[in-house]
Each structure stands twice: as C-alpha cells, then as structure tokens.
Structure 1
Amino acid sequence: MIHVVGFVDTDASATSPRCIGSAHRQFLGKKPLRQKAALTALMVFALGLVTVSTASPVGSVEAGLACLCVLGRLRVSDAGRIKFIDQEPLFDRGALVGGFPEAAAVSTKTAKSKEKKTIFLPIVVPMFGLSGLNWWQAFVDARRSLGMAELGSATEGEFFAILADGVPLLPRRLRDGLWSAQPAKADEVTAMLLRLLASVGCEAAALKEVASHSMEATLLSMAAKHGVDLRTRRLLGYHVVKGESALNYGREHLGVPVHELEKLLDAVRAGSFLPDATRARRRPLERGEGVKSLRQQFEEWQGCSVEEFMRRGRSNSAESTKPGNFLSS
C-alpha cells in the first residue's frame, strides 16, 4: 500500500515538522558523548621521569612529547603546528632551577579566520614539570641523538616561519629507519601514550578512558579543581575569552595565567593539593591531615624510590630498550 502524505518535493519533505521531529527523536537516542579522562598527577610525574631517564632515545622523545602536550595544554594537532621554540631558562646561583620553552604555532584549531591563521599563537610551557626534573632538555637531546630536524628559533625570522613547514616534534618513522616530515597522528599518539603509561605500572582499567586528548585536558582539569577562575583557564587552554582569543595576546599577556599555573604545580608537587582525590580530600592541610609530597606518593605507588625507578630505566641498553618496555630488565 502506498501512503500519500502530500509532499511536493524533497525540500518540503526535509523541512516538514514531521521529518524534523522524527530526526530529533532519533538524535536523542544516540549514545551520549563522554570526554576522555584527564591524566592523574602520578601519571604526569612518571612521564617526566621516563623522559629524563629511559635509555631509549625514542622512548624519551615519546614521553617528552606527552610532557609538552600536558604542560603546554596542547592538542596533538596544535603541537604539530608549532613553527619555532625559544627557551627562557631561570638560574639561581648558576644552577638551572626552572624556565619556560616558549613556542608559537599557526593555523591552530582556535584560528577560524584567514587573518587568525597567520597570527602566531603564543605557547608557554613549564620546563620543569611535576617531577621537578628538566624534561625539556632531555627531550631536545633525544631528538638530536636520533637525527631529527632541529627545532627553529624565533630569531630566525617569524615571517619565514609562517611560510615554512613546521618541524614535527614527533615525526612518523619510515620503514627505512628515517624520520618523516609528517607528524604522528592523534591515534598514533594515543597508542604511544597508553604504551608508556602501561610500562610504568598503570592498570588497564585506569587507561580505558585515556586518549591523546587527555593530555590537553589534564592541567585545565586540575586548575578547575584548584579554583582557578574561568577566564584564566580559558587563556591557559588557548580558548576564546569574551569574543577575544589567545591568538590576540602576546606571550607577555600570558604572564598572570602562567603564574597561576606555576602555583598549581607547586601545590601538587608539595602534596598540599590532591587533584585526583575526592572533593572533600583535595586539601589535606585544611582538614588537619598530614601531607605527602607527590614524590612520596609516587614512591608508595611504585614500591621503590625515584632513584631506583630511574636506575632501572638507565640500566637498559639503548639497543635492547624498546618504547613501552621502560621497566623491563
């Protein structure tokens, strides 16, 4: 039997209340989207240790890219659009105690217009992460040892940096052992991240909701729990703020947000703020409870000292160590 509903043409059919209502009901029946889980503070601590202590240069580059995305609040795609990176070290009595790699990227996800696609997005990343170690220098040294292209500097000329292809921080590896000019894709970085976290003892259940997007979300999630205001968090995440974008700000305008980020990292390192605890237990000092530093928490989790953990990584020869086998003997 043929039912005649009185539609004149396809346009009338598509815009009829009956079709719109039916499509709406079907849309409401779709599986709800769930954001990927942020990494825990212990995971970030472990990634920093792996970067500086693994005997495998490839493993160091992989873990270093993860540190860059976590501490830089970066999507994998935006990390692949970085054009140059400068360093701003901080010395105390001749010793390096901190600092920031300062990068610039173009055509990022938040750049919608053609004008904004040619404006540098300022990226400021803490050189010392939750581990308190200089993961950045280890990352740069590992890339150099593998023969990867050197990262450009702003002093080489910003105009030419816009026109030139960016240097992939983690290039795809070709079959002949050489490195591609193309950066690793998000799904490849997800597999890399899961492999690294599994190698340091993270259980499979804790990794079910982890993906490459987890790295970008980690510090922004911690900042929200710590009480950092929404505008500061949006600037840290390079999002639009009241019609303005972080693309419109120079690096100096990120000073206050980055200062808030440093205070957050200090609190997590000291153990006075526990971002992965329940809401009632995130601030142990306010409850009159004892405080364990993140380092102490890590040592309890691993059942060994940080020095022993790092020694295991260094004891593996560069020839026998494979990414994902950091703790193998």
Structure 2
Amino acid sequence: MFCLLAVCRFSDAMFVTGMAISRHGGTVLIEAGTSVHKTAHSKERKTMLLPLMALGHAFRFDKSWGERWVHAMSRQFAESRKQFVLPAYSEQSNRWLTRPMTTGEGVLWLRAVIGLRCRTGDSLTTHSLKTTLLSWVTLFGLMNFDQRRVLGHHVEAGLASPLTYGRDNITPLQIIIAKLLKQIARGELDPDAPRVQRIDKEMELKDTLDDLEADHEDAVYGVHAQAHDDVEEVDDALEADEMVDKAFDGNKIYISATKADGRLKQHQVSGVLHFIGMDDKFVCGRSINGFYDDVVDDLAHDWPMCQQCRKAMGEETISTYLET
C-alpha cells in the first residue's frame, strides 16, 4: 500500500528513513525519504533524500491502513534494530532475516496477499504498484504531464534538487489522489471499465453539458414556483386569467406537473422542461439520457421550458398543458 500510494519502487521503499505519520480530521498522511533510488548515481545525490508521501487511507475512509501498518511494524520489530522497512522472512526458520526483502520475494508475497481476495493477481509484479496511480490519473485526465512526472519521481536533472528538498511539490498532488479515490469508492469512476465505456460516458457527459448550455440560451423562464395544492385553491377567475396571460408571455411559462407527467422530462441541473418525442429523443432533437428525470407530480411547474420544444409543439398544443 505504501509503494502504491507513494508511487515508488519496491526497492525505494525498503530504505526509507525518517518515516512519520500524521492525522488531521479524517486525513492520514505518511511521509518519508529515501537515498536509495534510481536517480541516486553520484556521491552527492546519495546524500539527498527523495521525498515519498502517501495517503494513509484508500477506499476505507473509516479506517487508516497507514496507522495500522505503522503500529504493526512497531509492535513486530520493537525488540530488534532493523535497518530496512521490510526485512526478508525465512519460512524455514520462522524468523526475520538481517537483509531486506528482495523484489522477487516481494512479488511472491504480493500475489499471495491479492490471491486471498481475487483471482487476478497471478500476473502482478511489485512494479505494478508504482504504475497503478500513474495509470489512473492518466485515464481520467486528472493531472498534466509535468504533474505525472513529479508524482512518479521522474524529473529532469536540473529540477532534481528542488524537487528532492521540497515535499510541498508533492503535497498538492495528494489532494487530487484523495478526490480520485473517493470517486472510485463511490462508483463514479471505474479504472477497470473498457475504453469504449469510458469514451461513451465522456461523450454523454459532453452532450449533457452542451444541452445545459443550450438550455440556458433557449429557455423561457417563469415566475415563482407554487405548491400544487396552492394552485388548486386559486378559484378566482381573474387570477386564473392573469396566470394564462403570463403563460403566453414570451418570457414565461407555467405548466402543472399533473399535466406534464409522462409527457415531459426535466434536466437535473438546469431544470429545463423538454417534451418527449420519438426514438429516445425529445421534440427538440436532444437525446433522452440519465441526466433527465420524470416530472414530480405533486408540484406545479414554474420552471423554464425548452424554446425549441415549444416552437415545435406549437402554442395551440402548449396551451393544453397550461394550468388554468
């Protein structure tokens, strides 16, 4: 989990130093540094710590894997002076060894752990842990190229020093990661969805945003909304006539929900009403999708109406839907 959320190699994590865990509210953060990493070639570079930072929680926001992990390590190695985050383990002698766990051993343990819950872990490697978040933020377009490079600790030589010394370069990226994990946990984003499904969803969202913009451009708006019970109590002929006049005003429309139900749908965001046409389309030509709801039948509608639908239906037909 640390390698995955810190976007680091398994070998990088073995030699971390200065590991610290902190909590504020429901957010848990693990910070550390390592001098044994891919960019540490020169003697000078080996004295500079590559910053590693990981959220201490993933999909379970009520529990922190990070706090439990640090506590388990403290308890397990309380009586030993281990030099590595995760020493190798001998199953024959049933004891921890004095050397770090190798990448090959890490792969075997990773597959064994994942295999407890699913059958898709046979092809996993420890490098899969580093590439997971980089893949997800790329899939959903959450970071630009430079941000992804910083997240994966791939920096140009001239930028290595400031990025090494400054953990605040990584901090803003944790906010993006936290939001990503929440959206996945809520089912709003699916990293395992086929590419065609993601493309279709993005196209549907784009069409909806275009509809929303068009709704605001084409809509004609009404006066204040009233409860349907209140409308039924309006028995004064003069008030009824005034309401009809307002409905035919070019800038206003007023339709009873009881008359609109089953014939109109309302956009979830803009509130604009559209008349249902043929072939899963509205009369105006827009596609009917999940962003439109059926009309609630216990309220009198005083919402904007799609002007294109109104024009296509004609004022004579529209008058049959007006509350009089």
TM-score, normalisation: structure 2: 0.56
Number of equivalences: 202
CA contact (8 A) 1:73 1:219 kept: yes
Q: 2:128 aligns with which of 210, 214, 231?
A: 214
Aligned-partner SS, 2:38: coil
Instruction: Name the structure with the higher helix share.
Output: 1
Structure 1 counterpart of 2:168, one-letter code: E
* DSSP 3-state at the match of 1:244: helix
What is the aligned partner in structure 2 of residue 31 from structure 1?
none
* Separation in 1, partners of 2:24, 2:197: 34
Q: Is the 8 A contact 2:56 2:66 kept in 1?
A: yes
Q: Give 3-state SS (helix, strand or coil) of 1:87's partner.
A: strand
CA distance in 2, matches of 1:81, 1:275: 31
Number of the residue aligned with 2:148: 233
1:142 aligns with 2:34: no
CA distance in 2, matches of 1:113, 1:267: 42
Q: Taking every aligned residue pair, what percent have the same amino acid on both sides?
A: 28
Look up the equivalent residue of 2:108 and give its one-letter code: A
Greater per-residue strand proportion? 2
1:214 is matched by which residue type in structure 2? S
Distance, in Å, in 1 between the alignment partners of 2:129 and 2:94 is: 28
Deviations 1:209-268 (A, max 9, x none): 311111111111111112121111111111114742375341112122222222222222
Give the structure, 1 or 2, with the largest relative contact order (CA under 8 Å, sep 6 or more). 1
Match of 1:33 in 2: none
Q: Aligned partners of 1:170 and 1:264: how far apart in 2?
A: 28
2-structure distance, mates of 1:114, 1:256: 30
Q: What letter is aligned with 2:169?
A: H
Contact kept in structure 1, 2:14 and 2:85, CA below 8 Å: yes
2:193 aligns with 277
Q: What is the alpha-carbon root mean square deviation over aligned residues?
A: 2.6
Structure 2: distance between partners of 1:249 and 1:229: 22
Distance 1:267 1:241, change over 3 A: farther
Unaligned runs of 5+ residues in structure 2 are 206-288, 292-324
Residue 270 of structure 1 and its aligned partner are, at CA, apart by 2.0
Structure 1 residues 275 and 260 mapped into 2: Cα distance closer, same or farther (>3 Å)? same
Q: Which residue of 1 is the match for residue 168 of structure 2?
A: 252
Stretches of structure 1 lacking an aligned partner (at least 5 in a row)? 1-66, 92-96, 152-165, 291-329
For 2:37 and 2:173, the matched residues in 1 are separated by 20
Residue 42 of structure 2 is aligned to residue 113 of structure 1: yes
Residues 289 and 214 of structure 1: CA distance in aligned 2, closer, same or farther (over 3 Å): farther
1:234 counterpart letter in structure 2: R
Shift of 1:178: 3.5
Q: Following TM superposition, by how much is the alpha carbon of 1:173 offset from its aligned partner in structure 2, in angstroms?
A: 2.2
Tell me the equivalent position of 1:73.
Answer: 7
Aligned 1:300-311 pairs, distance under 5 A: none
Q: Distance in 1 between matches of 2:45 and 2:116?
A: 40
Counting only pairs closer than 5 Å after superposition, residues 1-329 of structure 1 correspond to structure 2 as 67-91=1-25, 97-132=26-61, 133-147=63-77, 167-174=83-90, 175-200=92-117, 202-203=118-119, 206-227=120-141, 228-241=143-156, 243-245=158-160, 247-282=163-198, 286=204
